[in-house]
Amino acid sequence: MRAFFRRPVKQPVEALRNVSFDVYSGEIFGLIGRNGAGKTTLTKIVATLVQPTEGTVTVRGYDSVRNDEHVRREIGLAGAEERSFYWRLTAEQNLLFFARLHGLRDRVANRRIQELFARLELEDAAHRRFGELSTGNKQRLAVARSMLASPAVLLLDEPTRSLDPLAAARMREMIQALAQQDPPVTILFTSHNLAEVETLCARVAIISRGQIRAIDAPARLRNFSSGSELIHLTVSGIDADQARQVLGSREDFAVATTDRDAIRISFTRQSEDDQLDDVLRALHRRGARVLDVDAERSTLFDVLERYEKDDALLP
């Protein structure tokens, strides 16, 4: 009996450690990492839903614990959680409820809701119960809710996760437009779609096992991971021997004949060095015509993978 009633002692889980960074006004800041890395916890701390045991989060000058009500006036959160709406209410009724909690008058709230429905292409879903909406529309409704009170800071947790490619592209356009509008909206953005993060975010933080491992612009993170890139040139007008003469005796150049009366030259160069220019000029002088240039660069995926491997070695 004693064993049955004994309350198991829960070991506290350290979800985040030594996390410190600034996000600037109008910036789209990406947060990437594996599942369970701490992205959602970090987002919830900023949103005042989780209190940090140590340290502080400040949103536009307000402390997330001491001035939580002020912070919530400044932020909007679109989470990845589907169960955050009332399933028996329509999309419109749901938004009206949350708009009223934000203190909007009904007339203003209704106008804002119609505006958001139009912007997020949700007009057809307005009078349907939340439970009947498609996963993509539920996702868009969560984004609409986060924008109800026109917050200065938006926390978007995988906002394109369930969207079709066209809807996802429009969502990305909207996010970019929000960051560029006047006054700009600051966006903290998490996604597992790394190409999307690279396209949208001015800076990206890589989070792993609750720690920020790197923060920088996506291009610089890539370069940091591997400063080199593999270049493939498809060239016509010269044959393989002529190409070898042009390129000299360097061992890192590979020349092969392709099946369409052209040759393929491959070489490795350091990012942003002059080697590609030099090769293209030399080929031109010899009368070659460049049909295609292809570069194999490291991606954010490679960067993420590298940090993950590093962390796997940690005790």
Partner 1 sequence: MNSIRLLPRRIYAFIARDFRLFVSYRMQFFLRILSILTVVTTLFFISKIFAGFTDPRYSQWRDPLASWLTGLAVLNYFMTGFSSLANSIRQEQVQGTLESVLLTPINLPTIIVASSAWDFLETTFFSFLYLFFGRVFFNVHYRGSFFLALVFLLLTTLVLASLGILSASFAMVFKRGDPFGMFLGAGSALFSGVFFPTQLLRDYAGPKLGNVSLILPATYGLDGIRQVLIEGHGLMQVKDPLITLLIFLVLLLPFSLWVFGRAVRRAKREGSLIQY
Question: What is the binding site for partner 1 (CB under 8 A)?
Answer: 15, 41, 44, 47-51, 53, 69-70, 72-73, 77, 79, 81-89, 93, 96-98, 100-103, 105, 145
> How near is the Cβ of 169 to partner 1 at its closest, in Å?
27
27: alpha, beta or left? (left if phi > 0; alpha if psi -120 to 50): beta
Q: Nearer Cβ to partner 1, position 83 or 260?
A: 83
Q: Nearer Cβ to partner 1, position 48 or 160?
A: 48
> How near is the Cβ of 111 to partner 1 at its closest, in Å?
16
Q: Nearer Cβ to partner 1, position 17 or 284?
A: 17
Q: Nearer Cβ to partner 1, position 13 or 166?
A: 13
Q: Nearer Cβ to partner 1, position 49 or 291?
A: 49
> How near is the Cβ of 126 to partner 1 at its closest, in Å?
15
Q: Nearer Cβ to partner 1, position 37 or 243?
A: 37
> How near is the Cβ of 230 to partner 1 at its closest, in Å?
44
Please give the distance of CA 242 from its chain centroid, rounded to a whole number: 46
> How near is the Cβ of 254 to partner 1 at its closest, in Å?
53
